[in-house]
Amino acid sequence: MTRKQRRGIIIGSGVAILSAAAILVMFALKDSVVFFHTPSDLSENHVKPGQRIRLGGLVGNGSVKRGEGTHVTFTVTDTLKDIPVTYSGVLPDLFREGQGVVAEGALDDNGLFKADSVLAKHDENYMPKEVADSLKAKGVKLGEGATHPSAQN
């Protein structure tokens, strides 16, 4: 084997692995990317029932109701629109009415959002960034209490 051939084999297999990885990346991105929406987005754009999305906003005041077992319902609001959410499981430490939350799941046919995970992030500023951005974009004023943990409790 000449030097050129050897180099060819090595570079060839490198390129093969890279392209295989690139194809994997494309498929994986297509399948596992989850879009973020606010309640208003959901009522404006038609997100198909069953499509996995992240829903972000504030937990509606007085909306948290505990049901059987670990079942919980609450609304996620951006103060313009409310979306009812159901979830079964243990809520995160930082979950609280009036606080930022991101729920991941899908809408059912009746417009009820079935979440399979709920995040209230351990963020110094208490509010998940996407939520803060989109609320700001919607012109919602963030009070001191909504952004700083020390104002709570």
Asked if 93 is part of the footprint of another protein (rule: CB under 8 A), the reply reads yes
Binding another protein (rule: CB under 8 A), the pick from 40, 42, 54, 118 is 54
Question: Which burial class, exposed, middle or buried, applies to 133 when counting CB atoms under 10 A from its CB (0-12, 13-18, 19+)?
Answer: middle
* Nearest distance from C-beta of residue 128 to another protein, angstroms: 6
3-class SS string, 73-122: EEEEECCCCEEEEEEECCCCCCCCCCCEEEEEEEECCCCCEEEEEEECCC
Residues that bind another protein in the complex, under the rule CB under 8 A: 1, 3, 6, 9-10, 13-14, 17-18, 21, 24-25, 27-29, 31-36, 54, 66, 69-70, 88-91, 93-94, 104, 121-125, 128-130, 133-134, 149-150, 152-153
